[in-house]
A and B are shown apart, each in its own frame.
Chain A
Amino acid sequence: MEYLSQAGGLILDWQVLVTILAGTAIGLVVGALPGLGSVVAVTVVLPFTFSMDTVPSIALLVAVYCSSVFGGSFTAVLLNTPGTPQSAATVLDGYAMTRAGKGDLALGWVAGGSLVGGLVSTVVLVLLAPQLAAVALRFGPIETFGLICLALTCISGVSGKNILLGWIGGSIGLMLGSVGVDPLSGQTRFTFGSFAVSSGIEIVPVLVGLFAISEVIYRLNESEASRAAANIVPGFKLAPMKEWLLRWKTLVSGSVIGSAVGALPGTGAATAAFISYAAAKRFGRFRNDIGKGEPEGIVASETANNAVTGGALVPTLALGIPGDPVTAVMMTALIIQGIQPGTRLFVDTPELVYATFLLLILANLAMFLSAGVFSRVFSRIVSFPQPIQLSIIVVLSVVGSYGVRGNVFDLWVMMMAGAVGYLCRIASIPIAPIVIGMVLGPFLEQNLRQGLILTRGSFWAFFSSPIAAVLIGGAAVIILTSVLFLVRDWVKGKPSVVDTQVASFLSRQEQSDGKRR
């Protein structure tokens, strides 16, 4: 309590509060631009911290970090353009809500979910940082492989009845993730002599192509759908408390998943968002509507990806191990300030650790309050006439995809992904599994191969780790269950995968024709 009051004294300074507001605004804008995200946002403000005092510099970094994760969801919800992989799960229900004329509510769910996720993860950080850090140390390649396997099961969840097509998409995503330099041997793979491909296929252009460019093509081809999209209520609206309470389990589970996954080095917000989304799809109260514009899907994704911010600081502060590039940049800033993260930090400067916790809470509150203002600005974009809207999406997509590596090849990838995404959309083939495969593929491969090297080639030895056994077993059960449900439906004479696909396609076409008439 003594340290907490000391920490309170440190942060109650106008400089700190102004820095939090400025950091929140910068993070929201940079995070909302496709292709940028948290790493760029934190790196952009890093030079400013050199001339600042310790607490304001931590405040700036924490505020930018939290709000940049949140900002990525604005364009995901309003423009179907998830600029970063961590917003990819949000787009599935968020954009569906926007199309249904509930964009303001969707942004409310995003902001509320993010706030809850951020606050819960801060509480977790305050109460359990040393314990979580100890658990995180028990996660070697084998356990992380199990966790990624569990995350991959969300492919079944997002595929609906098209499980077979979903897993094919997932396999394609996993393959795309393995193009380029092999992380273990350094050898290039599947480049076919092309120098441009040797650096691999970047996730952001694929993401932008599959969602944003395919959306542009879709809207250009579907005039009725476009008019419906123009009927959007701009702004920010919070759902009644009753609605939030109905989804409390997902709020809690998403926050816990995000905090736990964030504490594991090398996993990240996208993995957490997909695991949480899969959990909501399987156990959520409104699981049957998730993927069709159900707020529970947004809540699952947003609580988890924002809870990662607190979780990721656990290994960084408690062990001195940065879990991802963002925390690595933040750790650099701390070291420049003369603070050495690690086990001694909690003993030598506890007031600074508690100040960081309090700053996280303030940053999350500032993020939530700013959401109201920024939502109005961003949602104006979707009120623009269709041609202007589409050109905004295209220009942002191009700049965002190019900005990741400064490579025109990425723009060609974006274009091809856009064409593929459009074809998948009109054929009702789920595109999210491709993204999930691409996000998780490199982690899966690296940990599998490291695990196999550790166990001298014995996959069965993976099960000697209780954590890995539970995680891999859980993943296997989930996959088998979904296959069994599929077989049961087929035996009972319910429509097959392809028939369902064709039926939904035909019904959409009939509706569209009806509107035209």
Chain B
Amino acid sequence: MPGAVLVAVAAILLWHTFDPSYSSRLSTLKFGPVFFPRVILTVWLLLSLPLIFVVPRALRRSVLEHRKVWPGVFFVFALAIYLWLLPGLGYLLATFLFGAVVQLIAGDRKPLRFVFWSAVLTVMSWVCFELGLEIILPAGKWL
């Protein structure tokens, strides 16, 4: 399966390089914008072909199902929600909430502690980046 996915992705991207929008009349001629990607995609495709026949055997012996995966899944889900909310809520509020959720997922069951640390981390990182280094973080729609 991974081999097939890799081959499919490479094939689709390689096919995409023949899109008419890439045809160029510039002086670089045949060494246009998709020349290098075509070379790389061809290499990627050829290297992935053997995996179609070999990897399924490995996957049959996989022990993934025994692995505890839910905390990681929750974390990625929380991160996605955080990124979705970040432009609207702003860095301070969104990061404070997200920091607390991460600690909760990581097994911290003391609300005072994770709220405190989340607040400290958020404020410190904001002060360091926004005030110290003048890197503008998302302000949100409320500020």
Binding site for B on A (CB under 8 A): 30, 33, 36, 40, 44, 164, 167-168, 171-172, 174-175, 178, 182, 184-185, 187, 189-190, 213, 216-223, 385-388, 390-392, 394-396, 398-399, 402-403, 406, 408, 411-412, 415, 418-419, 422, 426, 441, 444-445, 448-449, 452-453, 457, 496-499, 501-502, 505-506, 509, 513
Evaluate contact between B30 and A171: CB separation under 8 angstroms: no
Min Cβ gap A213→B in Å is 8
In the complex, residue of chain B having the shortest beta-carbon distance to the beta carbon of A411: B83
Q: List 18 A-B contacts (CB under 8 A).
A: A171-B43, A175-B40, A184-B28, A190-B37, A220-B71, A220-B106, A221-B67, A222-B68, A387-B102, A390-B103, A391-B121, A399-B135, A403-B133, A408-B138, A426-B64, A453-B27, A453-B31, A513-B66
In the complex, residue of chain B having the shortest beta-carbon distance to the beta carbon of A167: B47
Contact A498/B55 with A220-B106, A221-B68, A408-B87 known, Cβ cut-off 8 Å = yes
A-chain residues with CB within 8 Å of residue B87 when the two chains form the complex: 408
B-chain residues with CB within 8 Å of residue A30 when the two chains form the complex: 133
Complex alpha-carbon distance, A216 and B102, angstroms:
10
B-chain residues with CB within 8 Å of residue A444 when the two chains form the complex: 36
Evaluate contact between A391 and B47: CB separation under 8 angstroms: no
Contact A168/B47 with A187-B24, A220-B75 known, Cβ cut-off 8 Å = yes
Min Cβ gap B64→A in Å is 7
A-chain residues with CB within 8 Å of residue B27 when the two chains form the complex: 453
Would you call the interface of chain B mostly helix, strand, loop, or mixed?
Answer: helix
Kindly count the residue-residue contacts between A and B in the assembled complex, taking CB atoms under 8 Å apart.
172
B107 on the A face (CB < 8 A): yes
Would you call the interface of chain A mostly helix, strand, loop, or mixed?
Answer: helix
B57 on the A face (CB < 8 A): yes
Complex alpha-carbon distance, A462 and B107, angstroms:
58
Binding site for A on B (CB under 8 A): 6, 13, 16, 22, 24, 26-37, 40-41, 43-44, 47-48, 50-51, 54-55, 57-58, 61-64, 66-69, 71-72, 75-76, 79-80, 83, 86-87, 95, 98-99, 102-108, 114, 117-118, 121-122, 125, 128-129, 133, 135-138
Min Cβ gap A199→B in Å is 15
Evaluate contact between A395 and B71: CB separation under 8 angstroms: no
**B28, B30, B36 pick with most chain A CB within 10 angstroms:** B36
Complex alpha-carbon distance, A444 and B95, angstroms:
38
In the complex, residue of chain A having the shortest beta-carbon distance to the beta carbon of B68: A221
Evaluate contact between A391 and B135: CB separation under 8 angstroms: no
Evaluate contact between B71 and A403: CB separation under 8 angstroms: no
Contact of B67 among A398, A415, A426, A506 (CB under 8 A): A426
Min Cβ gap B119→A in Å is 11
B-chain residues with CB within 8 Å of residue A457 when the two chains form the complex: 29-31
Complex alpha-carbon distance, A422 and B83, angstroms:
19
A-chain residues with CB within 8 Å of residue B41 when the two chains form the complex: 171, 175
Contact of B83 among A182, A189, A412, A441 (CB under 8 A): A412
A-chain residues with CB within 8 Å of residue B48 when the two chains form the complex: 168
**Sample of 6 more A-B contacts, CB < 8 Å, known A402-B135, A502-B62:** A40-B133, A167-B43, A171-B41, A394-B79, A449-B36, A497-B54
Complex alpha-carbon distance, A168 and B99, angstroms:
35
Contact of B76 among A36, A171, A419 (CB under 8 A): A419
Evaluate contact between A392 and B76: CB separation under 8 angstroms: no
Complex alpha-carbon distance, A310 and B107, angstroms:
47
Evaluate contact between B106 and A386: CB separation under 8 angstroms: yes
Evaluate contact between B99 and A190: CB separation under 8 angstroms: no
Contact A175/B58 with A403-B135, A411-B86, A505-B63 known, Cβ cut-off 8 Å = no
Evaluate contact between A217 and B83: CB separation under 8 angstroms: no
Evaluate contact between A498 and B54: CB separation under 8 angstroms: yes
Evaluate contact between A496 and B72: CB separation under 8 angstroms: no
A-chain residues with CB within 8 Å of residue B106 when the two chains form the complex: 219-220, 386-387, 390-391
Evaluate contact between B47 and A171: CB separation under 8 angstroms: yes
Evaluate contact between B129 and A403: CB separation under 8 angstroms: yes
Complex alpha-carbon distance, A333 and B48, angstroms:
49
Evaluate contact between B107 and A387: CB separation under 8 angstroms: yes
Min Cβ gap A397→B in Å is 10
A-chain residues with CB within 8 Å of residue B22 when the two chains form the complex: 187, 189
Complex alpha-carbon distance, A411 and B108, angstroms:
25
Contact of A394 among B44, B54, B61, B102 (CB under 8 A): B102
B-chain residues with CB within 8 Å of residue A33 when the two chains form the complex: 128-129
Complex alpha-carbon distance, A185 and B35, angstroms:
12
Contact A395/B121 with A174-B40, A387-B106 known, Cβ cut-off 8 Å = yes
B-chain residues with CB within 8 Å of residue A403 when the two chains form the complex: 129, 133, 135, 137
Complex alpha-carbon distance, A426 and B137, angstroms:
34
B-chain residues with CB within 8 Å of residue A216 when the two chains form the complex: 75, 102
Evaluate contact between A185 and B24: CB separation under 8 angstroms: yes
Complex alpha-carbon distance, A175 and B13, angstroms:
10
Complex alpha-carbon distance, A150 and B6, angstroms:
26
Complex alpha-carbon distance, A282 and B112, angstroms:
52
Complex alpha-carbon distance, A218 and B107, angstroms:
14
Complex alpha-carbon distance, A53 and B31, angstroms:
49
Contact A168/B6 with A175-B37, A394-B102 known, Cβ cut-off 8 Å = yes
In the complex, residue of chain A having the shortest beta-carbon distance to the beta carbon of B117: A388
Evaluate contact between B103 and A189: CB separation under 8 angstroms: no
Evaluate contact between B50 and A164: CB separation under 8 angstroms: yes
Contact A388/B129 with A406-B135, A411-B86 known, Cβ cut-off 8 Å = no
A-chain residues with CB within 8 Å of residue B99 when the two chains form the complex: 391, 394-395
Contact of B102 among A187, A390, A415, A419 (CB under 8 A): A390
In the complex, residue of chain A having the shortest beta-carbon distance to the beta carbon of B120: A388
Evaluate contact between A221 and B137: CB separation under 8 angstroms: no
